[in-house]
């Protein structure tokens, strides 16, 4: 039995492609690429889900008359300390650099198909596949990393961590609190998770940045977190900021707290943080040698 599907580009240009039920999706994709005279891409169904190229048309659930989109994307590249990994337009991964830092992915190359996103830390890479899996993890929404650990948010809002315990690879002490997680931010040594109710849970190296107890009562109504090397800064829905961690590296914003109102965004260097306010002005704090003092250009920091 044969089915005919319509494959279109984002531009709207489309072709009809016929295939049997036992035709592999990668074969179907190649026919579409040839007919459309375009380079490698990925096929998505009407719901935007990228199809697994290793399965057949029947296994992919394709039916006569289905509308598919061929996504032609740019190469995405991530880096560890001494290696690179690139997602090609067809969803495969190429890596190079020092093997010990993730430069050799040959052992898992056959698994690196239909890759959506890459995350890296100092010496390793983690890939999220089209079906939401990461290695043995399933239904993963996103992955964040510290220097030597990873944290994955699953689609049900739970979190799975692995790697160096001292860098956040073990979240068992706060696991019961990690429900309905919306976002995760990281320093070099710790993670901080924003929950659906606007509260924050942090874990990892206690001395460096995970110790949020002194400000825990203030961590309510949080919408976003930014991080420096060893400090966090949380933007609350009311536009105020709460910071914690290394006091000399951005973890103490007390000196400028009265200025941190109507904050729209926070950016960081290694040991300092800068907040853009709604009026376009900028407030900074942290290590002066790393940008924590902008007095020499303060008059120019308007309309940012």
- Give me the pLDDT at residue 207, please: 67
Final residue belonging to a domain, choices 72, 93, 120: 72
Q: Is residue 170 part of a domain?
A: no
Q: What is the rounded average pLDDT of the residues 28-53?
A: 88
Q: Is residue 162 part of a domain?
A: no
Say yes or no to pLDDT of 295 above 90: yes
d(C-alpha 259, C-alpha 266), whole Å: 13
Name the average pLDDT for the chain: 92
| CATH code, domain carrying 287 | 2.40.10.360
Q: Is residue 275 part of a domain?
A: yes
- Give me the pLDDT at residue 172, please: 94
Say yes or no to pLDDT of 46 above 90: no
Q: Is residue 168 part of a domain?
A: no
Q: Is residue 135 part of a domain?
A: no
Please, which pLDDT band fits residue 209 given cuts at 50, 70 and 90?
Answer: low
Q: Is residue 148 part of a domain?
A: no
Say yes or no to pLDDT of 206 above 80: no
Say yes or no to pLDDT of 210 above 70: no
Please give the tally of structural domains in the chain: 2
Q: Is residue 219 part of a domain?
A: yes
d(C-alpha 116, C-alpha 132), whole Å: 9
Please, which pLDDT band fits residue 214 given cuts at 50, 70 and 90?
Answer: confident
What's the whole-model pTM score?
0.76
Final residue belonging to a domain, choices 19, 41, 72: 72
Final residue belonging to a domain, choices 32, 48, 72: 72
* Range of weakest confidence among 1-5, 123-127, 150-154: 1-5
- Give me the pLDDT at residue 92, please: 85
Phi, psi dihedrals of residue 200, rounded to the nearest 5°: -130, 135
151 neighbors 186 (Cβ within 8 angstroms)? yes
| CATH code, domain carrying 27 | 3.10.20.90
For the chain, give the percent of residues with pLDDT over 90. Answer: 77
Say yes or no to pLDDT of 11 above 90: no
Domain that holds residue 224: 211-303
Q: Is residue 224 part of a domain?
A: yes
Q: Would you state the structure tokens that stand for residue 205, as one six-digit string?
A: 């190296």
Say yes or no to pLDDT of 54 above 90: no
């Amino acid at each position: 039995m044969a089915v005919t599907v319509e494959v279109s580009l984002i531009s709207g240009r489309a072709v009809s492609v016929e295939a049997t039920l036992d035709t592999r999706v990668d074969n179907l994709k190649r026919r579409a690429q040839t007919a459309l005279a375009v380079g490698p891409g990925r096929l998505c169904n009407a719901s935007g889900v990228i199809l697994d190229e290793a399965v057949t048309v029947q296994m992919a659930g394709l039916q006569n008359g289905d509308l598919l989109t061929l996504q032609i994307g740019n190469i995405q590249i991530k880096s560890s300390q001494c290696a690179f990994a690139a997602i090609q337009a067809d969803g495969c991964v190429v890596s190079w650099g020092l093997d010990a830092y993730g430069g050799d992915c040959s052992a898992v190359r056959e698994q690196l198909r239909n890759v959506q996103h890459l995350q890296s830390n100092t010496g390793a890479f983690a890939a999220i596949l089209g079906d939401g899996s990461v290695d043995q993890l399933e239904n993963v929404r996103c992955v964040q990393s510290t220097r030597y650990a990873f944290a994955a948010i699953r689609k049900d809002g739970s979190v799975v961590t692995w790697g160096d315990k001292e860098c956040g690879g073990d979240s068992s002490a706060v696991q019961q609190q990690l429900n309905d997680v919306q976002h995760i931010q990281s320093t070099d040594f710790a993670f901080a998770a924003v929950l659906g109710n606007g509260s924050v849970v942090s874990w990892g190296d206690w001395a460096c940045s995970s110790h949020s107890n002194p400000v825990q009562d203030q961590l309510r109504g949080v919408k976003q977190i930014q991080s420096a090397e060893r400090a966090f800064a949380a933007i609350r829905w009311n536009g105020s900021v709460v910071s914690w961690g290394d006091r000399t590296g951005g973890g103490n914003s007390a000196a400028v707290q009265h200025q941190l109102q109507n904050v729209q965004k926070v950016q960081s260097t290694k040991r300092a943080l800068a907040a853009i306010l709604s009026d376009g002005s900028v407030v900074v704090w942290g290590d002066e040698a790393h940008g924590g003092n902008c007095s020499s250009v303060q008059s120019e920091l308007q309309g940012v």
